[in-house]
Structure 1
Amino acid sequence: MAHEKQFYIDGKWVDPVKPALLDVIDPSTEEAYTQIAVGSAADVDRAVAAARTAFTSYSRTTRKERLELLRAILAEYNKRRSDVGDAISREMGAPLQFARDIQAGRGTAHLERMISVLETYPFETVEGTTLIAREPIGVCGLITPWNWPTNQIACKVLPALAAGCTMVLKPSEEAPIDAIIWTEIMHAAGTPKGVYNMVQGTGTVVGQAMSNHPDIDMMSFTGSTRAGIRVAQAAALTVKRVAQELGGKSANILLPDVDFQTAVTKGINSMMVNSGQSCTAPSRMFVPQERHDEVKAIAKAAAERFVVGDPRNPETRLGPVVNATQYEKIQRLIQAGIDEGAELVTGGPGRPENLNRGFYVRPTVFANVTNDMTIAREEIFGPVITILPYKSEEEVIRLANDTIYGLAAYVQGANLDHARKVASQMRAGNVHVNYPMGDTAAPFGGYKQSGNGREYGKWGLEEFLETKAVIGYQAA
């Protein structure tokens, strides 16, 4: 790839102000397969200056002009979609077909959704004699994670473009290559210079420089709660708007009338997909106490069907986790589960027996877990699920909500009205009833320490808009 050691600023690929390189590690081999340039505050200054200059004209573009741009991006993206999937598989370890179909497919889905939203969104309404105008907030700093990299780039860049904002993107340094392809797509689509800028680098340098930059009007961040707090603290110095999608520890409540064979199997599958590296993963499975032993057996069989191995092997269902830090964290938490008395049903510490290198984790199921155990409190972000028995509906609702997080929750039940009643009591931004298909029109975001603001569809667009009241716009 031609642009790994460059940034994209003001419509062209440029060298960093201060040359510095970072290895990009293939998690399946633990070896570097390329290097990227990493930026400094000086690179951020250049990118922000370009975005600030471009905002004057881009913020005044018409709906038609912005729709033409989004449609051009969609056309270029679909030409490169398999390249995006290949990059994601290599950089963060997702099985290749999953990366091509699901991970890369999210880019197409978000593009199509944002085009649909922009076609009809009412940027101006009149209430009485007052015009209510929704206008672009300004220059936006976008920081995206490594676990669903293109998905998160799409659901930040696209609404910002649709709103009329300009931006600087800092993708994760753990998954930087798909962002380079995305940037090539933006260039090929004819994005006006300065509207979209991309600087690679670390959160502590580039992310910090963006968060406290006086010429950035908004920060949109997806990542850990710990890092999100640092972004918010830095952004507070210039009173920026901050939108955050952070961690999760999602409850999955199986009500007594559910088909347990189906519900437990789907719960395990949902947990293990993407090697458990999803902030919405249903990591706490609550089951009626009298069905606990039955659930254990179903969960064990479902988890052991996951073939762990090389992401490029078509038989693989579970690739490695992203890096050594994540691997070691997951191993520590698996051991904590054992030490604190949880029942290890399958999996456990170490790599699967047939693998001696790569950041591979054994699909792990714990049962007889209590909600005060470390594995029920901390976000593991790996293929590890906890089964927690409950005695009553009142108890399970209390336990499900007993977490600092509130990103997602899941409720499974044969009686839909009953499941809806339980769902209404979940303190979470997204509640999934009976494992539905995903919905890119639904607002995505969390309660409590899972963040603030919403992404996807019209909700994502509105995060990038300011509200202006023109009083006296109409004659009385």
Structure 2
Amino acid sequence: MTDFSKLKTDKLFINGEWQDSQGGDMHAVINPATEETICDVVQGSAEDVDKAVAAAKEAFRSWRTTSAAERAAFLNAIADGMEKRKEDLVQAVSQALGCPTHITKWLHIDGPIYAMRYYAERTALMDKTEKVGHSLLIREPIGVCGFITPWNYPLHQFVGKVAPALAAGCTMVAKPSEITPLQDYVMAEIIASAGLPTGVFNLVPGAGPIVGAALSAHPDIDMVSFTGSTRAGVEVAKAAAPTVKRVTQELGGKSPLIITPDADLEAAVRWGCEDVFINSGQTCTALTRMLVPAERYAEAVEIARKVAEEVALGTDSSAFMGPLSSSRQRDIVRGYIEKGVAEGARLVCGGAETPEGLDKGFYVKPTVFADVTNDMAIAREEIFGPVTCLIPYQDMDEAIAIANDTEYGLSSGVWARDADSAMPVVRRIEAGLCFVNGGEFNYDAPFGGYKRSGNGREFGEAGLDEFIELKSVQLPA
């Protein structure tokens, strides 16, 4: 078990040094499985942001001119450090988020390590030039970046921002969520050990309305990348607007899974339920609206019931689902379950009551609703908990209409007879991501949403593009 008291969580990491905060307030990080305090983390201030941004701005002068090979070496050294301290990263995420450790490893840690090496291999793309008529297109880093990352996939989103930014030649200030900040402290130590030049990476934890707002509005921040709720994303965009900085956002979702009439119903429903229950439903891409052919609806409901009742809760090696991240999140999810019942949806299994034998910890039962209509709050609003809604449809036109009848467009899924027969359905769904017949998340491909689910893309080469300014050089004809 990692001893987090050895982390310098009473300090900020600015300009390559652990420094005191100008504010100095502390925030308790709670283990949601035990309800006990893991450690206290200092909360930064607007003055701390000023100091960190100044360090990043100064570091950008030289970092932007480093060779692609130098940047690749740093990224690979960071990835090596992540491998060496994998158990620390696993414990940092698992203890603060509540995800069982055996799931945390593959769900939260392995992918980010791969992504760090992925961007090490693509630093040379910054040297790529293109001739267009008598013009030459060259790529330059956008500058100083502010990163505001979420609590539900904290290392995933940290690397999705930091790795391509480093590859492009940008410098940065990172603000983790107050709920899950520990992996950022481990990463700061790894980054320092890798020898990254001072000021390139800076860490200022703190509250969103203070540190997040200061980063978003800061005149010397050239880009802000935010992952979180749509409501908070709007505030970030408003704060950033006066300085006309680039803003990329990965926001909320209420994603559909369309199961076609010729699909393997058992496989489709099981996968769809497990997609919602993994990480205790705290996944922005979770396919929380399961659209099923009306003629197979009763069968699908019974399969969903069976899957939910099989889910083991806890944090040991037999558990599939841990607690919610906080007492607040638990209460929000329970409130939605109660609202679903009040709206007339049929509670198939689960519910708002405390799971038996789990009086300690912020647990919520895996919950299945049937007889849901798309105008209900549980079908329209992001619950961010282990709650899935089954909705029947008569034909594919109705399924598409229900799927697209949402303000969100982050993710989607189609389960059909095979991938080829799924593609006509995929092309009609308004979402930036689509999982076909259980396809897995791919760090080589871009990730991002349509509509109010955000703008911009992370991961893949498109993730690097977000940190690039294109310069058009007009040469003599």
Q: Specify the TM-score bucket, using the shorter chain as the normaliser.
A: over 0.9
Cα 1:10/1:388, change in 2 over 3 Å: same
What is the CA–CA distance in structure 1 between the aligned matches of 2:19 and 2:32, rounded to whole Å?
A: 29
Q: Which amino acid aligns with 1:148?
A: Y
- Measured after TM superposition, the shift of residue 2 of structure 1 is 3.2
From 318, 321, 324, the equivalent of 1:318 is 321
Unaligned runs of 5+ in 2: 1-5
Q: Which amino acid aligns with 1:438?
A: F
Aligned length: 472
What is the CA–CA distance in structure 2 between the aligned matches of 1:221 and 1:187, rounded to whole Å?
A: 24
| Deviations 1:83-134, CA, capped at 9 Å, x for gaps | 1011111001001111123211122121122123324565322222211011
Partner of 1:394: 397
From 162, 165, 171, the equivalent of 2:167 is 162
TM-score of the superposed pair, with normalisation by structure 2: 0.97
Partner of 1:237: 242
CA contact 1:82–1:104 (8 Å) conserved in 2? no
Matched position secondary structure for 1:23: strand
- Measured after TM superposition, the shift of residue 71 of structure 1 is 1.1
Partner of 1:175: 180
CA contact 2:175–2:205 (8 Å) conserved in 1? yes
- Measured after TM superposition, the shift of residue 30 of structure 1 is 1.9
What is the CA–CA distance in structure 1 between the aligned matches of 2:75 and 2:36, rounded to whole Å?
A: 37
Equivalent runs, 1:247-266 vs 2, <5 Å: 247-266=252-271
What is the CA–CA distance in structure 2 between the aligned matches of 1:273 and 1:121, rounded to whole Å?
A: 37
Partner of 1:425: 428
Q: Which amino acid aligns with 1:235?
A: A
Cα 1:6/1:238, change in 2 over 3 Å: same
| Deviations 1:339-388, CA, capped at 9 Å, x for gaps | 11111111011221111121100000001110001100010000000000
CA contact 1:106–1:150 (8 Å) conserved in 2? no
CA contact 2:72–2:121 (8 Å) conserved in 1? no
Matched position secondary structure for 2:205: coil
CA contact 1:85–1:101 (8 Å) conserved in 2? no
| Deviations 1:240-289, CA, capped at 9 Å, x for gaps | 10000000000000000001011111111111100010000010000001
Alignment partner of 1:333 is 2:336: yes
Indicate the larger mover: 428-437 or 213-222. Answer: 428-437
- Measured after TM superposition, the shift of residue 415 of structure 1 is 4.1
Partner of 1:106: 111
From 356, 359, 380, the equivalent of 1:356 is 359
From 171, 188, 202, the equivalent of 1:197 is 202
CA contact 2:126–2:139 (8 Å) conserved in 1? no
Unaligned runs of 5+ in 1: none
Q: Which amino acid aligns with 2:378?
A: I
CA contact 2:418–2:437 (8 Å) conserved in 1? no
From 385, 389, 404, the equivalent of 1:382 is 385
Q: Which amino acid aligns with 1:343?
A: R
What is the CA–CA distance in structure 2 between the aligned matches of 1:234 and 1:18, rounded to whole Å?
A: 22
- Measured after TM superposition, the shift of residue 194 of structure 1 is 0.4
Cα 1:60/1:122, change in 2 over 3 Å: closer
What is the CA–CA distance in structure 1 between the aligned matches of 2:271 and 2:131, rounded to whole Å?
A: 48
TM-score of the superposed pair, with normalisation by structure 1: 0.98
Q: Which amino acid aligns with 1:187?
A: A
Cα 1:353/1:268, change in 2 over 3 Å: same
Equivalent runs, 1:14-413 vs 2, <5 Å: 14-120=19-125, 123-309=128-314, 311=315, 313-413=316-416
- How large is the Cα RMSD of the aligned pairs? 1.0
Indicate the larger mover: 28-37 or 52-61. Answer: 28-37
Q: Percent of pairs identical after alignment? A: 47
What is the CA–CA distance in structure 2 between the aligned matches of 1:315 and 1:409, rounded to whole Å?
A: 29
Matched position secondary structure for 2:166: helix
Partner of 2:3: none
What is the CA–CA distance in structure 1 between the aligned matches of 2:213 and 2:86, rounded to whole Å?
A: 31
What is the CA–CA distance in structure 1 between the aligned matches of 2:99 and 2:328, rounded to whole Å?
A: 17
Matched position secondary structure for 2:192: helix
From 459, 468, 471, the equivalent of 2:471 is 468
Q: Which amino acid aligns with 1:183?
A: A
